[in-house]
Amino acid sequence: MSPYALGQAVFFFAIFAALVKPLGGYIARVFAGERTLLSALFRPIEIALYRLGRIDPDEEMPWTTYIFSVLAFGLVSGAAMYVLLRTQQWLPLNPQHFANMAPDLAWNTAASFITTTNWQFYSGESTLSYLSQMAGCAWQNFVAAATGLAVAIAFIRGITRANATRLGNFWVDLVRGSLYVLLPLCVLGTVLFVWQGIPQNFNSYTDVTSLEGFKQTITGGPMASQEVIKLLGGNGGGFVAANSASPNENPTPFSNLLELLAMFLIPGALTYTFGKMAGNTRQGWMIFGAMALLFTAGFVISQLAEAAGNPLIQQLGASGGYMEGKEVRFGVDGAGLSLTVATDSGAGASNFAYDTLSPIGGLVAMINMQIGEIIYGGVGSGLYGMLVLAVLTVFIAGLMVGRTPEYLGKKIERREIQYVVLAVLAVPLVVLIPACVAVLTPVGLATLGNAGPHGFSEIVYAFSSSAVGNGSAFGGLGSNVFYNLVLGLVMLAGRYLPMIPTLALAGAIAAQPLRPSTRGTFRTDSFLFMLLLVGVALIDSALIFLPADTLGPIAEQLLLAAGKTF
């Protein structure tokens, strides 16, 4: 690994870690209803929204009402975006006169954006009007991220309250997350991105002739405002097909650093928010540390793999890393960090082509998602996913020492662990079963870009990415009606199926009384617990996904070393 690649990663993580405490503390105050620096500006708007929606901010919900509100809001949001995509050619702000999106692709896109997946089987610059980009994509980026944030806060309330039957009010949490957290960060981020050269306008595209005499179309549009929420909200869908590899979406090294920070910022800060709401910030730092260990391992392995280069090319006397598909402005030295941040977060916004990854680099990306998108992960979903695994870890530790497991002073018994198992198994089921169907049917193989293990990896990667709301793709898998419909279903199932047992778990734990710690209580704010949590996360993922990964990137690496290509 080059000193530049290592130094870049250390610099990035140092800034990120420094921002976790102040932002995490601010988020805790926002959802506690405390006064903040922005209250004078946003409190009147917040009250007006409650009155408009006939919402009583003091009325809290049991977990059943909370999840029903989440599902109903997602249904209405998805239907509105589908209608917008199907009618955009007759609506304003369409200077390129783009046609309506096809029904199956509109379904896939609507499902993608309401689940923060932003899987893109289309090129935004040649498919979506400015109105669809703003009122559809950017709006869903806001409210879908705020929904995940609200669920995480509700889960924290559940596991930290005692003798409680309610987890908060979803509509209040949705409004506060949007107004006080996402909106101010997006305004600041938009200004910074415009300063760096990302377009923000309503102009038609510009046709120019280059110095070499070639015709070129320069895209424009309200790009900077969508760029920042796609990253901060853990969404990742690019305004253009090239996403963060495009000079328009990511023009400078400083904009690249800002984009990487934006993907991790809120998920990382939520670990501190959890510690504050639990009354023990060590609990939050323990979760942060477990995520940091997994992030570091993924970065080191992927960066070394990409820098090692293709052995077949090296046999011909060439040297260097896997440069194919990399953006020349960032090179191989920036690949490992970008890959790890994008697939550890829920954003998946890549600045190079994943289809050209080394087999081991591709394996790291797949594992980062298959582990449950918990290494910081999506906004809200990363934290509550890791906390569910923390409950599982406590249960396993309790079995090892013969004690009734406890987490934050609450017993983890039969009912609680049943909810945990349902939450943990939901994503693997919606990844592996559809992937098997795709591999065994002609329509599933019809649009593969590669044969052999790499083609198999394209399929498994697509379902893994869709199920956990990441949205990144190997890029070799083409669109057809089968994938549009099935991946849309996978996105919805991967987003909402784990939420139901997760909130049920929160409700069950909230109803318990708080039990004082004793000398025999297994501490969950210790370094030992952090290591055990990391081990449980890795073992859980390996037991489920190792056979599929063996047939994909692992087999490809072994065959490549033997000189076999497809």
Q: How far is CA 322 from the centre of its chain?
A: 26
Query: What is residue 351's three-state secondary structure?
Result: coil
Q: Which residues of 103-131 are buried (b: 16+ CB within 10 A; e: fewer)?
A: ebbbbbbbbbbbbbbbbbbbebbebbbbb
Length of the chain measured in residues: 566
Helix (H) or strand (E) holding 183: helix 183-196
Q: What is the mean pLDDT of residues 500-505?
A: 96
pLDDT category at 517 given cuts 50, 70, 90 is confident
Ramachandran region of residue 394, left (φ > 0), alpha (ψ -120 to 50) or beta? alpha
Instruction: Give tens-digit pLDDT for 26-53.
Output: 999 999 999 999 999 999 999 999 999 9
- Compute and round to an integer the Cα radius of gyration of the chain: 23
- Predicted local distance difference test score (pLDDT) of residue 420: 96
- Predicted local distance difference test score (pLDDT) of residue 311: 75
Residues 6+ apart with CB under 8 A from 292: 13
Q: What is the mean pLDDT of residues 8-19?
A: 95
Positive or negative, the Cα torsion across 98, 103, 108, 109? positive
Higher pLDDT, 15 or 348: 15
DSSP letter (8 states) at residue 320: S
- Predicted local distance difference test score (pLDDT) of residue 282: 95
- Predicted local distance difference test score (pLDDT) of residue 192: 95
* pLDDT over 70 at 318, yes or no: no
Q: What is the mean pLDDT of residues 332-338?
A: 88
pLDDT category at 262 given cuts 50, 70, 90 is very high
* pLDDT over 80 at 404, yes or no: no
Q: Which of 220-224, 427-431, 462-466, 530-534 has the lowest mean pLDDT?
A: 220-224
Instruction: Give tens-digit pLDDT for 126-173.
Output: 899 999 999 999 999 999 999 999 999 999 999 999 999 999 999 999
Q: Which two tokens stand for residue 441?
A: 């049917």
Where in the chain are the domains?
A: 23-252, 282-561
Global pTM reads 0.94
Give CA angle at 532 (530, 538), nearest 5°.
Answer: 105
